[in-house]
Amino acid sequence: MNTTTSVPSKGLKATALGYPRIGPNRELKRALEAHWSGRLDAAGLQEAAASVRSGMLDDLALLDTVPTGTFSLYDHVLDTVVAVDALAPRHRRETELASYFAAARGDDAAVPLEMTKWFDTNYHYLVPEIGPETAFAAKPAKTVTEFVEAKERGLDARPVLLGPVSFLLLAKPSEDAPADFSPFDRLDDLVPVYVELLAALRHHGAGRIQLDEPALCADRTEAELAAVAAVYRRLGAEILVAGGYGPFGESLPVLLEAGVEGIALDLVRGRSDLEALEALDVSRETFFLAGVVDGRNIWRADLEKGAADLARLQRISDRVGVSSSSSLLHVPVDLDAEQELPEALFERLSFARQKLREIKAIADPEGSREARPEAPADWRDASVRERLAALDADADRRVPYPERQAAQAERVPLPPLPTTTIGSFPQTAELRNARAAHRRGLMIDADYKARMKAEVAAVIAEQEKLGLDVLVHGEPERNDMVQYFAEQLTGFATTAAGWVQSYGSRCVRPPILYADVTRQAPMTVEWTSYAQSLTEKPVKGMLTGPVTILAWSFVRDDQPLADTADQVALALRDEVADLEAAGTAIIQVDEPALRELLPVRAASRAAYRDWATRSFRIATSGVRPETSIHTHLCYSEFGEVIDAIAALDADVTSIEASRSKMEVLADLDRANYRSAVGPGVWDIHSPRVPAAEDMAEALRLAVDALGPERVWANPDCGLKTRRYEEVRPSLEGLVAAARAVREQLAKSA
């Protein structure tokens, strides 16, 4: 192992709040998957993990102070569950590693922890289950090991842990907890365990310790804030509280009063904290990290602006350092892997390694103070801007739903409870191989297309045989529901190796939306039309909505998201028009990420709901009343976006509902949603084949809530991750369930 010593800089201390932990070439992913499939034993996995950590330190050694403990075998919230010994009994196995993966992924004996999105990012964390009986105990092994590893290399190391307040606020009550119990009730029991964890670290020589409290960047109640003050008074000196993902706002004075030594500010999304601090009476001894380099996006920092914000902070305090705005977990490791990108774009990008240098430069009084250069003129497309400006005031409006419904029923007569699927059919190994061969140039376009068309034909035949009412082409030609469109629209680039962890071993490669967006040619019409030519049944067109395209890309930050969304919407509007012109009667525009981009702070939510729903409606409102617009949402609790779902004004909304026991239907009703709903009656994220009777029961609940004319029968998401062995019997059951409920309805009529 090579030893690195950090060079103390003349200026301010440079650091980062956290670092990508999957390895520059996804080494950890490969090791994990080898371990899970039995090809790599526990020792081999630990060795691979140590090597990834060592690589992280190689990079971080550039900084004056290095965060440690931000490595994770799967998820940092699960690591915290382990650190406070709060694993549920059902996940305890013979070894710690086996317990860890039982909680992360489940096994024959137990379902895993639930997974949900980390603030407004596309990273998913595992939700701790905490009950009144959960016994906490300090298990400092991981945090101590990783701290010592860095220290032994001569680095000035700063241990990082998820703080107790956020840990409990991110948790959910365990199954057996009483109805009025909240995990946060356990704060007083948890804090002593943190005291022990901190003591163990101090015992090994730790000075300042970073406690991540991103939950303090969301709206908090008075009672929660009072508890925060008490906790941080108790945890004592040499604590740096980090947020990230927005301003601390009203948490700022609370933390300051509690006497925390330092606060790491997100000066990208939480710049208003600067003003807040200027208005407060802050001790000049308070330590601040100026998070001026964006941990969430991949654009080069504006060093001039960063330095200016830093100077403002220095007028408040004598003890200021420079950092990233959040952990760098959300960006890929190294831009140098992207030699194929257009030069003007490459020059404007910065991945994790490059960001470390930016942080260094801002911390160095003699470092670069370059402003960010203007984007090249040809990244702007006057035509799309003019078209958007010229859109009619009612370009995002259709005639009222009852009128549409009548016209659509006449155009495409359907039985009650029409059966359909969400779009994708299984992506078999054979399909993936064909795609890989095509990408590598080993399969010519014509052969590839023929192969995909054969798949479409097979998928149509399957559905006819199953007796589904509204068919799909199965999406075999799509590598990914966002990338597929990004590759065809101008203004997007895709990276060669820009991998970002989504959860566990799963990584995504978000496209980069860098310039004005236009559609060059129809993107999906050929596939849908081909599928339609094979059947008398209606085939749904299938598009990804503007919000989801933005959510799963790295998006330009030189104009409001709303403006970028409108450009994408306009391109989709043209696609929708072309599908309609080709005779497609039903067009589905998926918005699974509608909840994801919802701002963390309530005050910013109304504006988000406005632009998000408007962009969807711009994409979908150009059609005639008799053309039916469907949308699809999944992956979330919909409570906060129910109004937005209603405002999409789709004719049919298919929505994940089985886990919430159809409760979302009553919520939709309260939000004045009046069109049809396809509540997912088959949880496709589970390999289990659902019983037809359970699906029928779910459909009956839906009929009770909405009336028979407003219910569709469908799974809760696409089938691309499932195998045909599960899909066939499940869809047979779905069709049977719909028929059974129809018969009952006919009898009782």
| Residue 122 known to bind ligand | yes
Listed in sequence order, the residues at least 6 apart from 5 whose beta carbon sits closer than 8 Å to its beta carbon are: 61, 153, 154, 155
Can residue 645 be called a binding residue for ligand MET (CB under 6 A)? Answer: no
Closest to Zn ion by CB, 231 vs 549, is 549
Choosing from 578, 590, 649, 726, the residue that interacts with ligand MET (CB under 6 A) is: 590
Chain residues that interact with Zn ion, rule: CB under 5 A: 592, 634, 717
**CA dihedral defined by 520, 499, 562, 590, rounded to 10 degrees?**
70
Kind and range of the H or E run holding 125: strand 124-126
Contact residues for 413 (Cβ-Cβ < 8 A; gap 6+): none
The least CB distance from residue 634 to ligand MET, in Å, is 5
Is 640 marked as binding a ligand? no
Question: Per-residue contact track with ligand MET, 459 to 498, x per CB under 6 A?
Answer: ----------------x-----x-----------------
Nearest approach, Cβ of residue 485 and ligand MET (Å): 12
Q: Which of 20, 476, 599, 718 binds ligand MET (CB under 6 A)?
A: 718
* 426: phi then psi, degrees, rounded to nearest 5: -50, 130
The partner in contact with residue 473, picked from ligand MET, Zn ion, none with C-beta cut-offs of 5 to 8 angstroms by kind, is none
Dig out the tokens for 452 from the structure. 């995909």
Phi-psi region of 418 (alpha: psi -120 to 50; beta: other; left: phi over 0): beta
- Residue among 262 and 545 whose Cβ is closer to Zn ion: 545
CB contact at 8 A, 48 and 40: yes
Using CB under 6 A as the binding rule, whether residue 720 contacts ligand MET is answered as yes
Minimum distance between the CB of residue 40 and ligand MET, rounded to whole angstroms? 30
Of the two residues 160 and 657, which places its CB atom closer to Zn ion in the complex? Answer: 657
Q: Is 217 annotated as a binding residue?
A: no
| 102 versus 727: smaller Cβ distance to ligand MET | 727
CA max distance for the chain:
84
Select 635 or 673, whichever has its Cβ closest to ligand MET. 635
- 632 binds ligand MET per the rule CB under 6 A: yes
Give me the sign of the Cα torsion angle 132, 137, 138, 141. Answer: negative
Residues designated as active site: 685
Please state the closest distance from residue 486 (CB atom) to Zn ion, in A: 18
Distance of CA 320 to the CA centre of its chain: 32
Are 274 and 252 a contacting pair, CB within 8 Å? Answer: no
- Token duo for residue 113: 């922890």
Binding mask 509-548 for ligand MET (x = CB under 6 A): ---------------------------------x------
Residue pair 299/260 in contact (Cβ under 8 Å)? The answer is no
Cβ contact 298:345 at 8 Å: no
For 239, the 3-state DSSP assignment is strand
What span, in angstroms and rounded, lies between the C-alpha atoms of 723 and 720?
A: 8
717 a known binding residue?
yes
656 in a labelled binding site: yes
Q: Which does 542 bind (CB under 5 to 8 A by kind): Zn ion, ligand MET, none?
A: ligand MET
- Separation in Å, CA 557 to CA 349, 375, 554, 579: 12, 11, 9, 32
Helix and strand element counts for the chain (H, E): 26, 21
Q: Is 587 a known ligand-binding residue?
A: no
For ligand MET, which is the closer residue by CB, 289 or 664?
664
Q: Which residues are part of a known binding site?
A: 29, 122, 422-424, 475, 506-507, 552, 590, 632, 634, 656, 717
Q: Which residues are part of a known binding site for L-methionine?
A: 422-424, 475, 590
Q: Which residues are part of a known binding site for L-homocysteine?
A: 422-424, 590
Q: Which residues bind ligand MET (CB under 6 A)?
A: 422-424, 475, 481, 542, 590, 592, 632, 634, 717-718, 720
